[in-house]
Amino acid sequence: MSTDDPLPGVPELDDPQHETPVTAEFETGTANDPPVGTDGETPTTVTVNGTQVTVPPGSTVIDAMQAVDDEVVSVDPGADSLDEDADVPALCYYDREGDASDEIGPRSECRTCMVETDEHGVVPSCSFPATDGLTVETDTSAAEESRSVNLDLVLSNHNLRCTTCNGNGRCELQETAINEGVDHPRYGVFDERSEYEPLDDSSSFIQIDRNKCILCNRCVEGCNDVQVEGVLRIEGSGEDTRIGFQSDAETMADSDCVSCGHCATVCPTGALTEKGIGGAGTLPLPGFTQRNSVGNVIEHEEVETLDDTTAPNRSPAPGSAGSAGGEAEAGQEGRSGIARYMAQSKRRASDFLGEYGRKAMLAGEHTAENIAAQTLPEGRLFDIASLVSDYRLGKIDKAETTCGFCAVGCRFEMWGKDGNALGVQPVDDPDNAPANNFSTCVKGKFGHDFANSKKRLTRPLIRNENGEFETASWDEALDYVTGELREVQDEHGVDAVSCLASSKGSNEEAYLIQKFARQVLGTKNIDNCARLCHSSTVAALQQTLGYGAMTNRINEDIGEADAYLISGSNTTESHPVLATRIKQNVRDGADLVVFDPRKIGIAEHADQYTRTTPGYDVAWLNGLIRYLTEHDLHDEEFIERNTKGFAEVKRNVQAFTPEKVEELAGVSPDELQSAAETLADAENVVFGWAMGMTQSSHGTENLLAMADLALTLGQVGKPGAGLSPFRGQNNVQGGGGDMGTLPGSLPGYQDPADDEVGEKFAEAWGERPPDEPGLKVPEMLSEAHEGNLRGMYIVGENPALSEPDIQHAGEALDSLDFLVVQDIFMTETAEHADVVLPAATSPEKHGTFTNTERRIQRVRASAEPPGKARQDWEITQELAARLGYDWGYDHPREVMDEISDLTPIYGGVSYERLDSGDEHGLQWPCWDEDHPGTPYLYDYEEGNFNFDDGLARFVPADGGHPGELPDEEYPFTLTSGRVLYHWHTGQITRRVEGLMSHVGESFIEINPTTAAELGVSDGEYVRVESRRGDIVVKAEVTDRVGDGTLFIPMHFAAGAVNKLTQETFDPQAGIPEFKVSSVRVEPLGPDADPDVLRTPDAGAGSAAHGND
């Protein structure tokens, strides 16, 4: 069926349903079902088992049943009511509150929710409207019979192999069957081995066992309606109905799946499961697995990771990258000829043995299964399975926590076992996951494996006289570090040392690093990697609005806007869960305008996509303001009431005529006009951006212009509107700014030069923090070069790969007298260190993260740091103690108490509130313990901008040219960015096999026209060269980029884009211009040198080949 050509539809008739260009192409195979529930705007009253209940408009019968007491009727697969007769399993119904959950069902497939009404007979309660006056009885014989027979019908086509099933113990069908007391299902169960569908194990993350599928369609909706990705569908009819793919793919690995994991999250059975969690509730016998139970398996092909080799998956033979797994050693040592052949033969022999053993074991397992199936009633099998799962799942450590990847602040329940991170499940109460409900992206759902890596740092390391690292005890390492830091300061002054805090760690940890710098070391030099991402945003928003942060909320405002202007944000890849909210809202009718040099994923959903020339964003932003004011489309009253400086901006933008904008930014007058009108027409507009705006030599001006535009339209201080920097690191808002890890800014952005502030800190700390601004990250490196900065304490940062011109950065780190790096892996930066201190990562921590919407949320541990690795806050506290400052914290909770004492915007934050608040998390400013937090900043009517006069400031922006322009020698403009499957410098994601199987190595995007000019073909390795250096990367010919523009992701050490980028900085924020460099490209063909490919550009092994 699925391959049939679609029917023509009715071209003459209007389809009023809004669809984006992307969603219009989705073929889910499911009917265009009507909305369920009562219509109209009045509540209705129905009677359920004799009890009257009034429910809001839009309610179904099941809503009414859930609204009455559990003793009247209990609804859900695990319903275990007091009165056995009054429970309604509603097996396929996804019983969860919130936006994302509302996208799932009701499909009304299983019909185990049938109830009897006086008016309409037996009806499915999950989808039947709770019309006024309806009388519902759940325990009539007809209703009970329907539920019971339909449940048995579901079981009749379900492969009841609970003890080997990944879903054991978390299966809604199993729960229902147990609670309904199913002993012998009327129609048996599905155990015709010859009819088993092969188990699809081809994805690294998600296993499909269609033999366990009950066709509830939740996965299809999770994929199409929540993720808006259009991968899964339902196909076939009758007995051949199955879950398949919208593309021609036959397996998960071949599909366009982005591994968001929604399908596995919402699957009620063991049909779609997370491989990481695997058989957490199955019999712990070797080989007793779902794979072996089904027998016939479509296998996964493993790829290399950073744990295997320093330059994974890079091989000159076309198409072989994916099959290089297990040959890391051979590749690394450049084995050739006979040695390689021998290694392969050995592997084949062991494969053969493995296969033989597997078959023998399969036979045994199948026999055991059959005996069990033939001799035990199904009810007994359930009992055994549930005993096993109770015991096994009881051994799982579960903790509700906040994701450690990006700053959307998704929350979920992290599962850990024996100190390792297993995977994630949704939190019980969707209110505790305000940004995401159950939604996740691939990294949040499946990317935590890095924590279990065998390459984690487990003991302190000290570099010996021969330049090699030796393991050391904590006492040795800590004594050594404090001695060296003190010596540097004694010889070269207190400011000869600097600290880099981490935006990945907790608020408490970041706070302690800046306290360590300012109180213990007495240095003014404290910064963090936010310098490289949104420092220009903070600078611009502080000047215009007052606070350097997102003005609004994610779900409630970004998710509900009427229009968007998104620029310089690859939202679907960098902030996937936030992007799904935008995609859903755009599907439902909101207008999306995207300006970007690349036609990225979010642009596919846009009503208007305009390709811009990299480096000239001020031009088109000013051009928009000019158009709006010229056509009286600005919000005059708002401007009059709440702002100042408009006249100056209006005068300033006059130079940005449509012709000028086209000349500079490549935006045509028509596109400018259309964008201006879309934004002006909308009631509420959200302006979203990320690195594409900020990482520019005039990044601050870009964002001044963006803020000016929002003020011109009066789009701040109200729901559904606002200026929304999509921030990167999980805790960049808190640990990268709020906590004062910035030169010249104390916690809560307090001015150290302000005597009142200084004295407050002096009183609390016993030392007054230095009152003048210290060095910014790039300045630290250049001062290190100059010999002025001699020592650094770097926590959870990787400047050796993240700085522009990394060769120069590497030299700077080498020229330090003393470098201590505190991290979880031997990063490219740690390779330069004198001491390396092993720390903990997010699944192992207690603390708080502050997400991009200023929401402070709890982080809880479900795993333990490996070996002797310690919590970051403990390490810093130990260092402080050795330098004479006894902090005496016993738990991060106490650090937060100190933060709230000293930081007015965090004044009302405490663990007690975060752990027990009605609404999860607190959004700053939260002034005191009675303050509810601030959902969105400022007020459209009143202003309330964060200045003494409450007025927002228009600040003129002029822009200019990027730091480097294409010329004859280096004719192409290179830009950089991220991919969905990796994180920043890739130290954590390059270790996760499944993420590497999606994107396994660095690459360069080249427009087909450019590629033809250069003679570059898709998949071929090319050398890319700038004035700073050269790298070799694989070409991907695509029209995502425009002609003459190139793109390389930032995540890889082999093919490291920052070997090419330049050290031009924004003068106000000090952010480097990562987004524009001039390069040239040379195709290498099949002769690309394997040694070059296998040598990273930074980190281990780079020295041997580097600096050439």
Binding site for another protein (CB under 8 A): 1-2, 4-10, 12-17, 27, 29-36, 39, 106-112, 114, 121-122, 124, 127-129, 142, 145-146, 149-150, 153-154, 156-157, 186-187, 215, 233-241
The angle at the Cα of 453, spanning 447 to 456, to the nearest 5 degrees, equals 120
Report, in Å, the least distance between residue 380 CB and another protein. Answer: 22
Residue closer to another protein by CB (options 150, 502) is 150
What is the DSSP pairing of strand 1003-1006 with strand 1045-1049? antiparallel
C-alpha closest to that of 588 among 552, 554, 563: 563
Report, in Å, the least distance between residue 393 CB and another protein. Answer: 28
C-alpha pair distances (Å), 22 with each of 232, 276, 480, 606, 895: 14, 31, 58, 9, 47
What is the DSSP pairing of strand 497-501 with strand 469-471? unpaired
Report, in Å, the least distance between residue 108 CB and another protein. Answer: 5
Report, in Å, the least distance between residue 128 CB and another protein. Answer: 7
Residue closer to another protein by CB (options 140, 1068) is 140
Rounded-to-integer distance, Cα 728 and Cα 584, Å: 22
- Helices assigned H by DSSP within 553-668: 571-574, 576-587, 601-604, 617-630, 636-642, 646-652, 658-665
Report, in Å, the least distance between residue 1067 CB and another protein. Answer: 55
Residue closer to another protein by CB (options 240, 948) is 240
Residue closer to another protein by CB (options 125, 292) is 125
Report, in Å, the least distance between residue 121 CB and another protein. Answer: 7
Residue closer to another protein by CB (options 235, 783) is 235
- Hey, is 442 helix, strand or coil? helix
C-alpha closest to that of 984 among 774, 815, 825: 825
Single-letter amino acid, residue 423:
G
Residue closer to another protein by CB (options 114, 1006) is 114
Rounded-to-integer distance, Cα 687 and Cα 711, Å: 11
Residue closer to another protein by CB (options 148, 567) is 148
Report, in Å, the least distance between residue 155 CB and another protein. Answer: 9
Residue closer to another protein by CB (options 61, 550) is 61
Single-letter amino acid, residue 592:
L
Report, in Å, the least distance between residue 239 CB and another protein. Answer: 6
C-alpha pair distances (Å), 566 with each of 603, 653, 707, 1039: 9, 21, 13, 20
Report, in Å, the least distance between residue 962 CB and another protein. Answer: 48
Rounded-to-integer distance, Cα 182 and Cα 163, Å: 17
Residue closer to another protein by CB (options 5, 468) is 5
Report, in Å, the least distance between residue 420 CB and another protein. Answer: 39
Residue closer to another protein by CB (options 14, 756) is 14
Report, in Å, the least distance between residue 32 CB and another protein. Answer: 6
User: Do 314 and 1094 contact (CB within 8 A), yes or no?
Assistant: yes
Report, in Å, the least distance between residue 138 CB and another protein. Answer: 14
Write phi, then psi, for 604 (nearest 5 degrees). -65, -25
What is the DSSP pairing of strand 232-235 with strand 206-208? unpaired
What is the token pair recorded at 757? 């502030």
The angle at the Cα of 561, spanning 935 to 621, to the nearest 5 degrees, equals 100
C-alpha closest to that of 372 among 160, 177, 181, 156: 160
Rounded-to-integer distance, Cα 245 and Cα 259, Å: 14
Report, in Å, the least distance between residue 282 CB and another protein. Answer: 26
What is the token pair recorded at 62? 């099941």
Beta strands in 368-520 (DSSP E): 397-402, 411-417, 420-425, 461-463, 469-471, 497-501
Residue closer to another protein by CB (options 119, 333) is 119
What is the token pair recorded at 830? 């740690």
Residue closer to another protein by CB (options 61, 433) is 61
Residue closer to another protein by CB (options 186, 891) is 186
Strand partners, 52: 47
User: Do 837 and 875 contact (CB within 8 A), yes or no?
Assistant: yes
Report, in Å, the least distance between residue 81 CB and another protein. Answer: 21
Residue closer to another protein by CB (options 236, 334) is 236
C-alpha pair distances (Å), 408 with each of 413, 444, 500, 851, 883: 16, 11, 23, 6, 37
